[in-house]
Chains A and B, each alone.
Chain A
Amino acid sequence: MKKLFTSLGLVSLSLCLFAHNDYANLTKDFRRGKAEVKSMSVLQFGPEGILFIGDSKSGKVFALDTEDRKLNDSKEGFELVDVEGKLAGLLGTDAKGIIIHDVAVNPISQNIYLAVSRADALKQGFWKLPNDITYANILLRLTPDGKFEEVGLDNIKHDAAEVPAMIKEGSENWRKSDKRTEAITDLAFADGKLYIAGLSNEEFASAVRVLSFPFGKEAQYSTIEVWHVAHGKSETEAPIRTLLPYQLEGQPYLLAAYTCTPFVSIPVADLKPGKHVKSTTLGEFGFGNMPIDIISFQKEGKDYILMSNTSKAMIRIDPMDIAKYKTGLTEPLKEGEYAVGLEHAVLSKIGITQIDNLNADNVLLLQRMPNGYLNLNSYPTKWL
Chain B
Amino acid sequence: MIRIEGLRKKFGDTEALKGVSFAVQPGEILGLLGPNGAGKSTTVKILTGLLPASGGTAWLNNYNIATDPIKVKKSFGYVPESGALYESLTGWEYLELVADLHHLDRGVFRQRAGEFLDLFDLLADKDRRISGYSKGMRQKILISAALIHNPQVLLFDEPLNGVDANTALIFKQLLKRLGEQGKTILFCSHVLEVVERLCTRIVIINEGLVVADGTPEAISEQTGHASLENAFHQITGAADADEKAEEFLQALEGLKA
Determine if chain A interacts with chain B. Answer: no
Residues of A within 8 A of B (CB): none
Residues of B within 8 A of A (CB): none
